[in-house]
Amino acid sequence: MPWYFPWSDSIKKRACRYLLQHYLGRFLETKLGLDQLSVDLYKGTGCVKNVSLDVDALNDLSEEQGFPIEFLDESIAEVSVSVPWLALLSESCFVEIKGLCLVIHPRQQIKNAFIEYRRPWLYMPSIDQKVAYHVSGARQVSQKSLVC
C-alpha cells in the first residue's frame, strides 16, 4: 500500500485531535470535538474552531513564569495552521488566530516580602539611618534637611 493512500477524514481528524490533546490539552477547558476540526494533511492546512481555554492552567503557567497578570476568562474563535510540506526548509509555517478574547487583571502581590526575606543576608539600612549617619564635611546632616 503506497504512503499516499487516502485516509478518511475521520482518521485524519482523530489523529490531529490526539496530537493537540497530547501537547496542548492541559490548556484546553474541554476535550476537542471532531466537529471543531478541519484538516487537509496533503495541503498542509488545519483549523480548530471555538476553543475554550482553561483559566487555571494559564494562571499556573503565568505564576511559574512570573507574569504580573491573572487570567479571568479566555476563548479563541479560530486557529488556522499552514505548513508548506514541499518547502519546509525554505518557507515559513503560519499560525493565524482569530477572535482571541482575554480578560486579565494585575496579579495581587505581597509587597516587600522578597526584600524582608533577604534582609538578614544583605543588610541595607533604611533611609532614616543613612540620613542620620551621613556626614557632609565635618558635620552631621539632620533629618529635617532631607527633601524628597
CA gap 46, 17 in Å, rounded: 11
The pLDDT of residue 85: 87
φ, ψ (nearest 5 deg) of residue 36: -80, -15
**Given a cut of 90, is residue 99 above it in pLDDT?**
yes
CB proximity list for 42: less than 8 A, separation 6 or greater: 4, 85
CA gap 52, 99 in Å, rounded: 12
| Amino acid in position 23 | Y
The burial class, CB within 10 Å (0-12 / 13-18 / 19+), for 51 is buried
If you count DSSP H runs as helices and E runs as strands, how many of each does the chain have, helices first? Answer: 4, 6
**Given a cut of 60, is residue 144 above it in pLDDT?**
no
For residue range 40-66, what is the model confidence (pLDDT) as tens digits? 888 889 999 999 999 999 999 999 998
Classified as helix, coil or strand, 80 is strand
Q: Which three cell numbers stand for residue 27?
A: 490548556
The band of 4, judged by pLDDT with boundaries at 50, 70 and 90, is low
Nearest alpha carbon to residue 105 among 74, 136, 81, 83: 74
Q: What is the mean pLDDT of the chain?
A: 76
